Structure 1
Amino acid sequence: MSRRPIIGLAATAAAAALVLSGCSGGAANDDGDPSGEITVLTNRTDLVDTTFKDYAAEFEKQYPGTTVKFEALTDYEGDAKIRLNSKDYGDVLLIPSSNVTKDQYANFFEPLGSTEEQSKTYRFANEASFDGTAYGVSTFGSAMGYVFNRDVWTKAGITEPPATEEEYLAALEKIKANGSIPYYTNYKDGWPLATLEGNLGATQGPKVRTEMIATDSPWTEGNDQYDIDGLLFDTVAAGLSEPDPTTTNWEESKNLLASGEISSMVLGSWAVSQMQDAAEKAGESRDVIGFWPMPWKTDEGFTSVTASDKFLAVSKYSKNKATAKAWIDWFTNESGFAASQGAISPVISDPAPDTLADFSDLGVTYLELAPDPVGKEAVINDIANAAEIDLFGNTYRQKLIDIARGAADGDKESAFADLNERWAAARADVAE
C-alpha cells in the first residue's frame, strides 16, 4: 500500500551523529570517545528487561568498554520531579513534560546543538528547545486520533470516520446500543487524559499556542481547547464512557479494546501497535485495531497534529557525557525503537509507519506546531501554572469528567467559564 509521506526530505543518520557529536562540553569525558558506565532513566517498565536490555548489548558491542544500565520509573513524571531536586538523575533521561518548563532546561540538561541544525535531521526539535538551543531528541512521534475496534464499529454500521462531533457521538450511541462501552477515559491512570492536549492545533492551525497565550478565553467555542475538552465532557455526560472511571486500568484497557468490550480511546498513534499486540495475544487479527482522525473535518479534509512523545536528554551533571550523547545518537538512529512501536521516527528520512495506513487511505493532512516565539517559549506553561490548570497533565480533566458524570457540582458551561476566568487572571499576572 502506498503511503503518504509525513514530512519531507532529510539528512542521513551519519549526519545525525555529527549533529550530536558537536554538542557543547563541560564535564569529565564529555568530548572524548565513549567509554565507561551510564545510567538511563526510562518510563518503559515493560521493556527495560527485554528490548532495552538487547539494545544495551548492541550498543556495548559497538562501543567496547561501555556499560548501559537502566532505571525504570513506574510514576515517571512524579519520580523524575523528585530526582531533579538533586543532581542524581542518571546520565540520560526523558525530559519530564509536566513539571519542567522550557526556560528551565539549561538548569538540568546539556545543550545538544542549535535548534536550526537539529531540525535538519530530526523532527520535533522545536518542542525540546529554548532560545534557539535544543536540549532533547525525540524518542518517537505520534499522530493524534483515536484507536478503535474495527469489528465493533463495523457491526454498528460505521465504516467511515465521523466528520463532526455530532456524528461521532451518534456513532458512539450506536455502539452502546450493540453492547460495547463506546469510549474509555483511562481516568484512574490519568496520564492518557494528558495526551488529549496533543490535539491542540487540529483546527486552529500551527500557531495555536501563540494564539492561546494572547486570549483570555481558550475554552470558548471556535477554539481547539474548547473542542478537545468539550468532546471529552460531552462523551462522558452522554453516558458513553465506562460506568465507573475510578476503576479504569491502562494495561487492561488494551485487552478490553482488543476483545471489543470497549470500542475506542483518543490517543496518539503510538498506541496502535500496543493494541494490535493485545489483539494478537487474544487470538484476533491485528487488523481488528484501527486508527481514525479526530471528528473535526474541514473543507480541506481531516487534519492530525503530530508531536513527539518523550525527549531524551543528557543530564547537566553527568560525569560521562560523551557516552550519554553516543547512547542518544545510537538509540535514535540505529536501535529501530520508533519502528518497533509503530510510531513516527524522529529521523526525518525514515518512512512512515504501517500503523498510519488508515490515515494514508483517508488522505489525512499532518500538522506540526510552529515554534513558540523566541522569548515566549515558557509563557503558556507560566499561565497554566499560575491558573493552577495542569494543561499538559490530567487533574483538571479528571475534574471535568467528575462534573460530566454528576460526581461533582457544575455543568459544562460553568466548568469552562471557571477555566476561562482563571486563565484570564493568570494571563494578566504573567504579563505584568
Structure 2
Amino acid sequence: MRRGLAAAVVVAALTISATACSGGSSGSSDSSGPVTITWWDTSDATNEAGTFKTLVKDFEKANPNIKVKYVSVPFGDAQTKFQTAAGSKGAPDVLRADVGWTPGFVEAGFLAPLDGTAAAAESGKFKQNLIEQAKYQGKLYGVPQVTDTLGLMYNKELFTKAGITKAPATWDELKADMAKVKEKTGVDGFAFNPQAYYAMPFLYGENTDMVDAAKKQITLNSPAAVKGIDTLNSVLAAPGIRKLDTTSNAYANIMDAFNSGKVAAIIQGPWENANVFKGAAFKDKNNLGIAPLPAGSAGQGAPLGGHNLVAYAGSDAKHQEASQKFIAFMTSADSQKKVALANGTLPTRDDAYTAEVNANPGIAGYSQLLGGGKPRQPLAQYSSLYTPFETQLIKIVSKQEATKSGLDKAAAEAKKLLPEFSTQ
C-alpha cells in the first residue's frame, strides 16, 4: 500500500521485464544442470517478503537441481504485469496470485492445471472451501498459500474505558458504541477505508453481491445493494466516526491511527496483523480484539480472500515440473507454519494451525471467522467489477452522488464488462 519514487518504479518495471524474459517458456538450461524458475512474489516487500526469501533458500538447499529467481512485484501492479508478460510468452513460472484472478487467467490460457501433479499431492489436507476457490470449471489451477477474510479489529482497552463489554453485532450497535468511545475517551470510535473491497460486507449484510453469476444479473444497483450502501452512509454520519479520508494515502493513514490508539475500531484483514503488533497501542498483543463484522438486516458476511501459487502454462515441461515441486514446498504445513509465525497471516491447511501458531491472537481471532467468509463468484470479470464500484462508492460516501444514481452508474459500467448480463 506504500508508494515509492517514480524512478524506483521505473527501475522495478525494467527489472521485472528482464526477469520475466529469463523465466517461463523463454527460460533455458542445460539438460544435465540445474533448472532455474522465476517466482513473482506479491507479498508486502517490507514486512512479509523476507520470510518468503528465506523459504526460497530452504527450497534450493532441499532441491539442489532447482534454482529460484525471486522477484518482488507490488501487489497493485501484479495482475496487469502478469497479463502483459503472459501475453508475450515471458511470464514467470510461478506467481503468487490473488484468488480472484484465477478465472480470468484461466480463460486467457495463462495457467496450467495442477490436478494430479506434485503441487496438488496434499490437496486433501487443505481447507476444502479454499481448494474449491482455487478451481475453475472443475479443474485445480492454484494451491492456497495464505487465506484471509475481513473482521472488526478493535482496541480492547479503549472499548473497556468506554464501558463496552462485547463487540457490536449490528451496524446500529456499532454506531452506538462508537459514540460512547468518543464521549468517554476522546478517541474516534471507527474509521472506514472507502475501497470497494471494504464495502462488500454492507452488500453481504443485505444478502446481495455485485453480480449474481448463476442468474447472469448485475446486482450492484439492486434495492438490496442500495440499502447496504445507505447503511454504510448512516455509519459514516454517526457521532464518533473518524472523518472520511478519500486521499491516496487513506489506507496508511487509517492504519497509523489505529496502530497508535487514535481510533478504536476498523474493518481489516489478517495481512495487517504483523504491522498492528508493531504499533504503540498493541505492544501487548492481547489488546487486539477481532470479531465478526456487524450484520445488516439480512445477516452478516465478509469476503473470503487470500493468495494461491499458480503455474504459468507457457513454461516448458522441465520448468513446469520444477514449479510444481516449488509450489508443493511453499504450501507445505512446515512452510505455512513458518509464514504464519513470522508474518501473522492465516495458513490454508489445518495441520499448520499448531499450538504455537494459534498462540498469536491475530491468527486465532481471524481463523474463527473463516467459516463465514463469502467466496468470490466464479466469473472471469469479477475482480474487474471492483473498479466501477469503487469509483462510484467514493462519490457516494463523499456526498457527491446519491446512492441509487451512483450505483446505477456503477452497474452501467459493469454492463460493459458483462454485456450478456441483465441489470436491475
Question: In which range does the TM-score fall when normalised by the shorter chain?
Answer: 0.7 to 0.9
1:173 shift after superposition = 2.9
CA contact (8 A) 1:118 1:125 kept: no
Q: Are 2:406 and 1:404 equivalent residues in the alignment?
A: no
Q: Please list every run of 5 or more consecutive structure 2 residues that lacks an aligned counterpart in the other structure.
A: 1-24
CA contact (8 A) 1:306 1:368 kept: yes
Q: Are 2:194 and 1:182 equivalent residues in the alignment?
A: no
SS at match of 1:263: strand
What amino acid maps onto 2:264 in structure 1?
S
For 2:113 and 2:203, locate their aligned partners in 1 and report how far apart those are by CA, in whole Å: 27
CA contact (8 A) 1:236 1:405 kept: no
For 1:33 and 1:181, locate their aligned partners in 2 and report how far apart those are by CA, in whole Å: 63
What amino acid maps onto 2:36 in structure 1?
E
For 2:181 and 2:387, locate their aligned partners in 1 and report how far apart those are by CA, in whole Å: 27
The change in CA–CA distance for 1:398 and 1:169 in structure 2 (over 3 A counts) is: farther
What amino acid maps onto 1:130 in structure 2?
Y
Match of 1:87 in 2: 89
SS at match of 2:167: coil
For 2:125 and 2:108, locate their aligned partners in 1 and report how far apart those are by CA, in whole Å: 22
Percent identical pairs in the alignment equals 19
The change in CA–CA distance for 1:217 and 1:50 in structure 2 (over 3 A counts) is: closer
CA contact (8 A) 2:204 2:300 kept: no
For 2:176 and 2:51, locate their aligned partners in 1 and report how far apart those are by CA, in whole Å: 41
The change in CA–CA distance for 1:312 and 1:99 in structure 2 (over 3 A counts) is: closer
SS at match of 2:40: strand
Q: Please list every run of 5 or more consecutive structure 1 residues that lacks an aligned counterpart in the other structure.
A: 1-25
For 1:71 and 1:425, locate their aligned partners in 2 and report how far apart those are by CA, in whole Å: 34
For 1:216 and 1:395, locate their aligned partners in 2 and report how far apart those are by CA, in whole Å: 12
SS at match of 2:197: helix
> Structure 1 or 2: larger helix share?
2
For 1:28 and 1:425, locate their aligned partners in 2 and report how far apart those are by CA, in whole Å: 38
Match of 1:415 in 2: 406
TM-score in terms of structure 1 length: 0.71
For 1:359 and 1:71, locate their aligned partners in 2 and report how far apart those are by CA, in whole Å: 29
For 1:355 and 1:59, locate their aligned partners in 2 and report how far apart those are by CA, in whole Å: 28
CA contact (8 A) 2:392 2:407 kept: no
1:415 shift after superposition = 2.5
The change in CA–CA distance for 1:358 and 1:112 in structure 2 (over 3 A counts) is: closer
Deviations along 1:327-372, one digit per CA (max 9) or x if unpaired, are 1111111312245433332224433844254578xx8682355796
1:56 shift after superposition = 1.4
1:306 shift after superposition = 6.7
The change in CA–CA distance for 1:364 and 1:186 in structure 2 (over 3 A counts) is: closer
Match of 1:54 in 2: 54
1:420 shift after superposition = 5.3
What amino acid maps onto 2:197 in structure 1?
A
What amino acid maps onto 2:59 in structure 1?
F
Match of 1:278 in 2: 279
Match of 1:68 in 2: 68
CA contact (8 A) 1:42 1:93 kept: yes
Summarize the alignment of residues 224-243 of structure 1 with structure 2, pairs less than 5 Å apart. Answer: 225=225, 229-238=229-238, 240-243=241-244
For 1:33 and 1:96, locate their aligned partners in 2 and report how far apart those are by CA, in whole Å: 35
More relative contact order, 1 or 2 (CA 8 Å, 6+ apart): 1
